[in-house]
Amino acid sequence: MPSRRVLLGGAAASVAAAVLPSPGARAQTQPRVVVIGGGFAGASCARALTRLDRDLAVTLIETETAYVACPFSNAVLAGLRGIEAQTFGYDGFDGIALIRKRAVAVDAERRRVRLDDGTDIDYARLVLAPGIELNFEALPGYDAAAAEIMPHAWKAGPQTLLLRDRLTAMPDGGTVVLSAPANPFRCPPGPYERASLIAHYLKRNKPRSKLIILDAKDAFSKQRLFEAAWQKLYPGLIEWVPLSAGGRVTEVDPATQTLATEFGSHKADVANVIPPQRAGAIAQVAGVADRTGWCPIDPVTFESRLQPGIHVVGDAAIGGAMPKSAFSANAQAKACAVAVAALLREREPAQPKLINTCYSLVAPGYGISIAGVYQPRDGLLAEVEGAGGVSPLDAPPEVRELEASYAEDWFRTITGEVFG
């Protein structure tokens, strides 16, 4: 039986509007759902849609040929893992019309997406899953050129390798400065997992060095667990400077590798600037992002509060207590697919219940986690009281080791499910 997958790139994509989705006659008769972004959210949603209703015509638009996953990318920085283990192709997307192009505009009224080669694609419903973009406007001195000197590594790939190489080249006795943004941002525990694994690398390879975290917050995810682990594993190595002690970075100077705060400035040998973020550019262009830069959604259908017919899932969406994680992105994508399939068949969408678990590695064989359950309440995704929690503070080493192995298992399972 011939594969139902359609791979379009280069010149072939210019005929996409005429022929999509495949196969042939289905395109004329079945409603087309277009998904923009083939990350944890978009790829999960496209797959779920075809599974739920094989008669839907599903098109996935992704600009990259391969996806580099952020979860576990902090282990790459610490030399514990290769970037290949983070990289996934788009070969297993049978039944989905995959277009390797950038979506550059959305005409919400005419229900049409424009690609970077000028092709237009019509949709019955659009799912936007573009992830984040770095909000350079929110941090004076920081832009794409500065990121080549003071890497963010908040989108995995070349930035991850750049930061890893900076750490490798730093002499012993150097100072690493990591700046963490205010909420909301991608992966709330991510900066602190990163600090932990960089500390692990420094302790083993450059023991006279230190790490300063400049934080725009006074509290962070799994804080007590991280701080207890830092005291035990990396005493004196990590200094956390909260907002109230002058942690918020107000400006950076790549020429001198300096990060300025309201209370003074810090010169780094290696600077890792994690800047403020907002929904990916196409969300801003499509008019689904509000003044916060994020996309408010209905918690049952994930339909935009600002543009009918457009749904937003993953990091770009905002609508309550659910953190921006790959786990959440995958859960939201599946709930959104159920709602989109129902709406297209004129059925009432069901109320979803969504789970998130975020594992963090503090060192190899030392894992901690936070879990939560979320459901629609008062127009938002609210946390179900008493349903989640964090790892125990006083757990024995065997439990930390088990959690580290659960983290690996989770990553293998989710990437297998999403990227095949």
Minimum Å gap between C-beta 263 and ligand FAD is 27
Enter the tokens of residue 221. 């995810």
* Residue 126 contacts residue 113 (beta carbons within 8 Å): yes
Interface with ligand FAD includes 404 (CB under 6 A)? no
Q: How far is the CB of 37 from ligand FAD (least distance, A)?
A: 3
Binding positions for ligand FAD, 326-345, rule CB under 6 A: 326-327, 329
Cβ atoms of 307 and 15 within 8 Å: the answer is no
**Is residue 100 a contact point for ligand FAD (CB under 6 A)?**
no
Stretch that binds ligand FAD, among 216-224, 298-306, 321-329, 398-406 (CB under 6 A): 321-329
| By CB under 6 A, residue 114 contacts ligand FAD | no
Q: Which is nearer to ligand FAD, 99 or 253 (CB)?
A: 99
CB atoms within 10 A of CB 133: 18
* Piece of the chain touching ligand FAD by CB under 6 A; list 27-35, 55-63, 169-177, 383-391: 55-63
Distance in angstroms (rounded) separating the CA atoms of residues 73 and 276 = 19
In 3D, which of 33, 59, 27 has the Cα closest to residue 339? 33
Q: Is position 102 an interface residue for ligand FAD (rule: CB under 6 A)?
A: yes
226 or 359: whose CB is closer to ligand FAD? 359
The one-letter amino acid code at 384 reads: V
The 8-class DSSP code of residue 348 comes to P
Interface region with ligand FAD, contact rule CB under 6 A, candidates 11-19, 65-73, 344-352, 390-398: 65-73
Q: Which of 123, 142, 154, 220 binds ligand FAD (CB under 6 A)?
A: 154
Give residues 274-293 in contact with ligand FAD (rule: CB under 6 A).
Answer: 280, 282
Local structure of residue 171 (DSSP, 8 states): P
Identify the CA nearest to 369 among candidates 383, 357, 352, 381. 357
**In terms of CB distance, is 199 or 253 closer to ligand FAD?**
199
Residue of 14, 22, 30, 63 interacting with ligand FAD (CB under 6 A): 63
The amino acid that residue 189 corresponds to is P
- Draw the binding track, 190-209, toward ligand FAD (x: CB under 6 A; -: no contact): x---x---------------
Instruction: Supply the DSSP string of 57-90, one letter for each residue.
Output: EEEEE-S-SSEE--TTHHHHHTTSS-GGGGEE-S
**Which residue, 64 or 148, has its beta carbon nearer to ligand FAD?**
64
Tell me, by CB under 6 A, how many residues bind ligand FAD. Answer: 37
Least distance in Å: CB of 74 to ligand FAD? 5
Quote the tokens at residue 299: 């918690």
Q: How far is CA 64 from the centre of its chain?
A: 15
Residue among 186, 206, 210, 266 that touches ligand FAD (CB under 6 A): 186
Could you tell me the smallest distance in angstroms from the CB atom of residue 303 to ligand FAD?
Answer: 17
Nearest to residue 257, comparing CAs of 247, 244, 272?
A: 272
**Quick check: 129 binds ligand FAD (CB under 6 A)?**
yes
Q: How far is the CB of 109 from ligand FAD (least distance, A)?
A: 19
φ, ψ of residue 110 to 5 degrees: the values are -90, 0
Q: Which of 420, 227, 94, 250 is nearest to 258 (CA)?
A: 250
Measured between alpha carbons, how far is residue 138 from residues 148, 243, 280 in Å? Answer: 18, 16, 15
Give the residue with the Cβ less far from ligand FAD, 98 or 252: 98
Nearer to ligand FAD, 131 or 151 (CB): 131
Distance CA 197, CA 361 (A): 7
The answer to whether the beta carbons of residues 73 and 153 sit under 8 Å apart is: yes
Site residues for ligand FAD, 6-45, by CB under 6 A, read: 36-42
Residue with smaller CB distance to ligand FAD, 200 or 253: 200
As given in the structure block, the two tokens for residue 257 are 């590798």
For residue 180, give both structure tokens: 């963490």
Report the distance separating Cα 32 and Cα 18, nearest Å.
13
| Helix or strand run (H / E) with residue 201 | helix 190-205
Phi, psi of 354 (to 5 degrees): -120, 145
- Which residue number, 259 or 404, has a Cβ lying nearer to ligand FAD? 404
Which one, of 117, 124, 91, lies nearest residue 103 by Cα? 117
Nearer to ligand FAD among residue 56 and residue 60 (C-beta):
60
- Asked if 240 touches ligand FAD (CB under 6 A), the answer is no
Interface with ligand FAD includes 75 (CB under 6 A)? Answer: no
Binding site for ligand FAD (CB under 6 A): 36-42, 61-64, 67, 70-71, 73-74, 102-103, 129-131, 154, 186-187, 190, 194, 280, 282, 314-315, 324-327, 329, 358-359
